[in-house]
Structure 1
Amino acid sequence: MASTYRLVIIFFILLSISCTKDDVSDKSSNILQNLEKAENNSVRIISRAAYKNSLYGFWLGQSIANWTGLVTEMDKIGGEGASGVFYTRNDWGKADQPSIWGQGIPSDLSDNIDFVFEDEGSIWGSDDDTDIEYMYQYLLYTNKVTILSPEQIRDGWLKHIYSDENTPFTVEGKPENYLWVSNQRAHDLMANRGLLPPETSHPDNNKDYDMIDAQLTTEIFGFFAPSRPDIALKMAYLPIRTTARENAAWASEFYVVMYSLASSVDKSLPMKEQIQWMASIARKRLPNDSYSAKMFDFVKSRYQAGDKWEAVRDDLYQKYQVNQEDGYDISSRNLYCNGCFASGINFASSIVSLFYGEGDIIETVKIAVLSGWDSDNPAATWGGLLGFMIGQSGIEEAFGRKFATQFNIHRTRGYFPNNGLDDFSNMANHGVEIIDRVVIEQMGGKIVQENDSWIIPMQTNDISPSNN
C-alpha cells in the first residue's frame, strides 16, 4: 500500500492549494475511510489520471516493439539453411538477414537489427499486433458495453477488416488484407458462412485454432480490468475464442492476466521481481498438463539455473519443434515453415524474453526481437506491458528521446473516424472511459470524482484453468 499512501499525500497537497480547511477535512476523512478499506484488502484505489498515462505508455511501447520486431520477423525459425541458424545477442546492430518469405531480401525497415522509431511530428502505422486491439477498444467504446456480443464482434470484423477481394492494399502487386492463419479463417467463416464467435474457432470449422493469432490481438482486455484478472478473463473470453481454442486460448489468457496484474504490483520492488510475481500468478491459468504450462516451467527452470537465453531458445527448438515433446504436435502444421506460426513455440519464445529481460523494456524487446519465429509478436506484447508499467515518461527516459504521438489505424484497417488518424492520448482517454463502465458494471466499484480515482472491490480472483 506504500504507493497508495504516496498518492494520497500528493492529493492532500493539491487539496490544500485548492480547497478551504473545512473542505480538506471532510474530503480527507472520506479518503482515509477508503484507505482503511484498502488496507484490509477489500478495495484498491487507482488514479484515473495515472492510469491514462500508463495506457499511453502501452500504445507507445507496443508500437516501438512491434515495428522493431518486424525487422527480424520470420528470419530465424530453425531447420536447414540460413533460417536455421538463430540470432544471438551479438547480432544486435548487425545486418538483418532475409526472412523466409523475403526472397533473399532483408527487411526494408532497417538494414541492421536495431530499434525502429517514429520521431516527433511523424505517425506510427498500425500492424497486426496493434490493429485488432485498437478495433476491440473502439467497439467497446462506441457500443458502450463491457462485454462484446458475438454479433458485435462479427460486425466489427466485417466492417473494419478487409477481405482480399475488397482490400485497397497491395504488397508486391498482390492484394493484402493483413490477416493470416486463424484470423483469416475466422474472417472467412464470418463473411462466407455466417458463423459467429466462438464457432469461428471451433476445430471442426477452423483448423488453425491452435495458431498464434489471439495472443497478439486480445492482451488489451487485461488493462480494461485493473487488478481484476477474473473480470479481464470474462471480457476477453469471446474475443480470444474468435480465433483460438485450447493451448492457444490458454496462452492468450496468460497474457490477459499479466496485463490485468500490472496495476496490482508492489512498485517498491525491483522490476524483475514485479514481473516474476505477475508471471507466477498468470501461470495458474495454464492447465498443468498442457504443453503451454510445461513450456513455461521449462524456461523458468532454465532461467533460475542461470543458463543463457540463447541456449534455452535453442533447446526449445529441439525439444518442441523437432522432438515435439509434451504433446506439442505440429506435424501437420504450416510445413513450409515448420510450425512457425503455432501458438506454442511463439509462447515459449515470449517467456524467454519475459524472464531474461527482467523488466527492462530495452533488454526485453531486444531478446524478443532476436529470439526467432514470429518475433514481432512477443516483442509487442512485452513492449506494451512494460510501456504500461513505466508510462510515457518512463519510455522516453529509457530511450533518451521523444516519439511520435499519432497513430494511423488505416494503414491496415478501414472505416474509422478522422480518416483513421488518432493519437495515443485520445486512445488512452477512450480506454479510461471503458474502464469507468467496467468498474461500475462488472466490478461493483465506484468512481470518486474528488480525487479522480476508481475504487475497485478486490474479491478472490478465480483464474483457475478453463476447459476450452
Structure 2
Amino acid sequence: MNRFSAAFILSISLCAAQPAKTRTISLADLKDRIRGGWAGQMFGVSYGAPTEFRFNEKIIPVDKLPEWKPSKVDNALNQDDLYVDMTFAKVLDDKGLDATTDDFGAMFKNARYNLWHANLAARRALKRGVPATLSGTPKYNAHANDIDFQIEADFIGLMTPGLPQVANDIAWRAGRVMNYGDGIYGGMFVGCMYADAFFESDPHKVVEAGLACIPAKSPYGQLISDLMTWHKQNPNDWEKAWHLIEEKWNKREPCPEGALKPFNIDAKINGAYIALGLLYGDGDMTKTIQISTRAGQDSDCNPSSAAGVLGTMLGWNRIPDQWKSGIPPLANRKFQYTDFTFETIVDSTYNRALAVVKRAGGKVEGDKLTVPAQAAKAPKLEVWDDYGSPAERVAINDPRWQWNGHWTDESSRNTGSRISSTKGASAEISFEGRGVILVGLYLPDGGLADVYMDGKLASTVDVYPDEDASKGGESVYHDFALKPGKHTLKLVVKGEPYQGSKGAKIALSNLVVFR
C-alpha cells in the first residue's frame, strides 16, 4: 500500500472535520465529463494555435481569428499543452497517488521533448544536479512565474472531482518542479476549476472555486479578484475588462524574454484570459474559446484550459459537434512523446479519479460515485518578485558595455547578440538596481563562462540547452537578491564546451535591471 503524503492526510482530516455532506455522480457522467475535459483542451489549443503570441498587448480582431474545421483538432496530438500534461499524469500511474516532487522531476529530467521557459530552465537545473524541490525556485529559474505549470495542470483537476484540497496537494508536488509562487498558483487555479466543474453548471461559480484555492494576497489571487469585480461592473463588455487587466497588471513581467516588452508569458495575466473566456462566455463553447483566444498573448494555451474546464462542465455529450466531431477519427492515435491516445488518457484519468475519491472517503455503489464534501483551502503564500520591477533593458550596443577580447557582433541579425568562444573574452557593465538578468541565447554549441558580481566570482554558467535547438531570450545569469545600489557584472568566457555541447560559444543579448 502506498504511503499517504502529509499534505494528503491533512486534506482528509480537514474534510472529516466538516459536516457530513456528500455529492453523487453517475459513473457514466464522470467518464463523460472527463472525456469532455480532455476534448476541450484539444480543440481549444488547436483553434488558437495559429495566433499564439502573434497578438501581444492587443485584442485579436474578429477577422484575424482562425477558420475552424473539426479536422484541425489533429494539431492537438503534437501540442505540449497535451503531451507534457499527459507525461505528468503517467507519473501518477507509475508511482501511485503519493508520487513525490522528486518522482515528477525524474520524469521531467529525462523527457525526450523540447521545452521552453520555466520548463526548460527546470530541466537544465535538474540535469545540473539541482533537486526537483528547488528547480522551480527563482534562485535557479528566472521563469518561476511563467505559464508552464498552468498549462500542464489540467490532468490534476480531471482526476479530483469535487476535491479541491486533494487537487492542491498534487499541484504543490508537481508544480514545484518548474514553478514557484504565482507559477504554482496558476496550476492550482486551473486544477480547482476543473475539480468544481464536475458538479457546477455556472462558469462564474467555477471561477470563484478556482480563486478559493489560491492565496488571496498573492498577485495572482488579486488579479482574478479584480477581474471578477470588473465583470460585475461590466457584465456585457469583456473588452472593457481586458483593458482594465492591461492597465493594472501588464506592467511587471519578469521573464527575460518578456520584461519591458509586449510579450507576456506570465501565469497570472494568461490565467486572467482563461477566466475572461469563462466569465463572459456564459457556458457557450464558441464564445468561451473565442474570447480567451482574442485576449492574445498565449492564445492557444488559454483557450485550451478554458475549453477544457467548460468541456468538463458540459460533458462530452453536450459539446456541440462543430467542436468535437474531429476527435473520434483520431481517438486511437497516440499523442506525441506519450503512450496515450485520447481513449486511453480518458480511461487512465477515470481510473485515477475513482482511486482518489475512494481514498478521500468516497465510494462506488452500483453505477454511482459518492464524493465527500471538501472545502477549498489555499496554500501558504509565496511571493518572490516583490524586490522591484523591470526598469531597464540595456542592449549590447549600449556604450555602458565594455567588451574585451574577440566578440562577433551579430546585433543587426536575428540573434541580436554578441558571440564569443575565445578564452578570456569578457563583457562588463555597471548598473544600479536590486535585481538583474543577463540575457542571451542557449546554443547547441554553447560553452562555459564565469560571472563576477562586484569583483567576486558569483557563478560558473553554461548556455547549453540540453537539446538540439537554439533558444533566445534566456537567462545566462540572474540574481534577484542584490542590495539596492550600484553593481558591476562581468562575464568571462572560459573557451570550454559544456558536456554534450558541440562548441564553446557564449551569446549575450542584453541586461534587464530591476529596481
Question: Equivalent residue for 2:68?
Answer: 115
Residues 362-381 of structure 1 mapped to structure 2, 5 A cutoff: 362-381=286-305
Question: Equivalent residue for 2:93?
Answer: 141
Q: Distance in 2 between matches of 1:133 and 1:331?
A: 22
Structure 1 residues 371 and 125, CA gap change in structure 2 (3 angstroms): same
Over aligned residue pairs, what C-alpha RMSD do you find? Answer: 2.5
Q: Does 1:69 align with 2:21?
A: no
Q: Does 1:424 align with 2:342?
A: yes
Q: Secondary structure at the match of 1:125?
A: helix
- After TM superposition, the structure 1 stretch with the greater mean CA deviation from structure 2, 235-244 or 287-296, is 287-296
Given candidates 213, 227, 234, the residue that maps to 1:299 is 227
How many residue pairs get matched? 362
Mapped contact 2:281–2:288 kept (Cα < 8 A): yes
Q: Does 1:316 align with 2:245?
A: yes
Mapped contact 2:37–2:158 kept (Cα < 8 A): no
Question: Equivalent residue for 1:204?
Answer: 139
Q: Which amino acid in 2 is paired with 1:218?
A: A
Shift of 1:301: 2.2
Kindly, what percent of the aligned residue pairs are identical? 20
Q: Distance in 2 between matches of 1:464 and 1:123?
A: 35
Residues 357-396 of structure 1 mapped to structure 2, 5 A cutoff: 357-396=281-320
Residues 123-134 of structure 1 mapped to structure 2, 5 A cutoff: 124-134=76-86
Q: Distance in 1 between matches of 2:107 and 2:333?
A: 18
Shift of 1:384: 0.8
Structure 1 residues 320 and 436, CA gap change in structure 2 (3 angstroms): closer
Structure 1 residues 308 and 203, CA gap change in structure 2 (3 angstroms): same
Structure 1 residues 331 and 230, CA gap change in structure 2 (3 angstroms): closer
Shift of 1:333: 5.6
Normalised by the length of structure 2, the TM-score is 0.65
Shift of 1:397: 4.1
Mapped contact 2:198–2:312 kept (Cα < 8 A): no
Residues 90-101 of structure 1 mapped to structure 2, 5 A cutoff: 91=62, 94=63, 96=64
- After TM superposition, the structure 1 stretch with the greater mean CA deviation from structure 2, 297-306 or 328-337, is 328-337
Q: Distance in 1 between matches of 2:279 and 2:75?
A: 31
Q: Distance in 2 between matches of 1:352 and 1:133?
A: 23
Mapped contact 1:123–1:405 kept (Cα < 8 A): no
Mapped contact 1:215–1:248 kept (Cα < 8 A): yes
Q: Distance in 1 between matches of 2:72 and 2:185?
A: 37
Given candidates 346, 364, 367, the residue that maps to 1:452 is 367
Question: Equivalent residue for 1:86?
Answer: 59
Shift of 1:185: 0.6
Q: Distance in 2 between matches of 1:41 and 1:276?
A: 26
Mapped contact 1:126–1:408 kept (Cα < 8 A): no
CA radius of gyration, larger in: 2
Mapped contact 2:46–2:76 kept (Cα < 8 A): no
Q: Secondary structure at the match of 1:157?
A: helix
Q: Secondary structure at the match of 2:80?
A: coil
Q: Distance in 2 between matches of 1:262 and 1:280?
A: 11
Shift of 1:244: 1.5
Question: Equivalent residue for 1:166?
Answer: none
Question: Equivalent residue for 1:34?
Answer: none
Q: Does 1:352 align with 2:276?
A: yes
Structure showing greater relative contact order (alpha-carbon pairs closer than 8 Å, 6 or more residues apart) = 1
Q: Which amino acid in 2 is paired with 1:447?
A: V
Deviation by residue 1:17-67 (Cα, 9 ceiling, x = unmatched): xxxxxxxxxxxxxxxxxxxxxxx8522222222211211111211100001
Q: Which amino acid in 2 is paired with 1:311?
A: K
Given candidates 12, 18, 25, the residue that maps to 1:46 is 25
Mapped contact 1:158–1:187 kept (Cα < 8 A): yes
Mapped contact 2:118–2:144 kept (Cα < 8 A): yes
Q: Does 1:435 align with 2:373?
A: no
Q: Which amino acid in 2 is paired with 1:288?
A: A
Structure 1 residues 42 and 200, CA gap change in structure 2 (3 angstroms): same
Structure 2 runs not aligned, ≥5 long? 1-18, 383-515
Deviation by residue 1:161-211 (Cα, 9 ceiling, x = unmatched): 33xxxxxxxxxxxxxx2x1100001111122x2333221111111111011
Q: Distance in 2 between matches of 1:220 and 1:116?
A: 26
Q: Greater strand percent: which structure? A: 2
Q: Which amino acid in 2 is paired with 1:127?
A: Q
Question: Equivalent residue for 1:182?
Answer: 118
Q: Secondary structure at the match of 1:383?
A: helix
Deviation by residue 1:252-282 (Cα, 9 ceiling, x = unmatched): 21111111111222xxxxx4xx111122232
Q: Distance in 2 between matches of 1:218 and 1:139?
A: 13
Shift of 1:69: 1.0
Question: Equivalent residue for 2:446?
Answer: none
Deviating runs (4+, > 6 A) in structure 1? none
Q: Distance in 1 between matches of 2:190 and 2:67?
A: 25
Structure 1 residues 247 and 379, CA gap change in structure 2 (3 angstroms): same
Q: Which amino acid in 1 is paired with 2:300?
A: D
Given candidates 60, 66, 69, the residue that maps to 2:39 is 60
- After TM superposition, the structure 1 stretch with the greater mean CA deviation from structure 2, 58-67 or 386-395, is 386-395
Structure 1 residues 58 and 359, CA gap change in structure 2 (3 angstroms): same
Mapped contact 1:131–1:409 kept (Cα < 8 A): no
Question: Equivalent residue for 1:466?
Answer: 380
Shift of 1:335: 3.6
